[in-house]
């Protein structure tokens, strides 16, 4: 089995602005089958919108209040006509998906190191 991972150094990792955030809103994106428009409270960074393909993995009400890991410095993009300003991180294996969460109460916007 070959290892296809790209090896990075610490300077590459330090380019990522990973933050703790709380999902405050989630709604289906009209005309799509798998997309939610999600708003995440990142504390001093404000509320950011992201478009995520979580339909089928999480219900809307299940997402609200979830404390997640958010990539805050990802270049913005338009997805299905909606602005996406970052990314909620998740693990996916064999069709099973789980959002990355934090196990202690730290403030929204706390930087992950």
The full 3-state SS of 48-96, as one line of letters, equals EEEEECCCCCCCHHHHCCCEEEEECCCCCEEECCEEECCEECEEEECCE
Tokens standing for residue 84:
């996406």
Average pLDDT, stretch 23-36?
97
Residue 80 region by backbone torsions, left for phi larger than 0, else alpha for psi between -120 and 50, else beta: left
Strands 82-84 and 47-52: unpaired
Given this model, what pLDDT does residue 4 score?
79
CATH topology of domain 16-99: OB fold (Dihydrolipoamide Acetyltransferase, E2P) (2.40.50)
DSSP letter string, 20-40 = EEEEEEEEEPTT-SS-EEEEE
How many percent of the chain have pLDDT more than 70? 97
Does residue 30 have a pLDDT over 80? yes
Please, what is the end-to-end C-alpha distance for the chain in angstroms? 31
Domains in the chain: boundaries: 16-99
**pTM (predicted TM-score):** 0.92
Given this model, what pLDDT does residue 64 score?
98
Structure confidence by residue, pLDDT tens digits, 50-66: 999 999 999 999 999 99
Given this model, what pLDDT does residue 1 score?
52
Chain length of the chain = 113
Does residue 3 have a pLDDT over 80? no
């Amino acid at each position: 089995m070959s290892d296809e991972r790209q090896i990075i150094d610490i300077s590459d990792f330090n380019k990522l602005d990973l933050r703790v955030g709380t999902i405050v809103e989630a709604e289906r994106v009209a005309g799509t089958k798998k997309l939610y428009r999600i708003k995440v409270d990142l504390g001093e960074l404000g509320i950011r919108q992201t478009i995520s393909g979580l339909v089928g993995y999480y219900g809307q009400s299940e997402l609200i209040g979830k404390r997640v890991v958010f990539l805050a410095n990802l270049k913005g993009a338009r997805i299905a006509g909606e602005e996406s300003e970052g990314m909620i991180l998740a693990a996916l294996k064999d069709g099973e998906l789980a959002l990355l969460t934090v196990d202690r109460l730290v403030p929204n916007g706390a930087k992950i190191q």
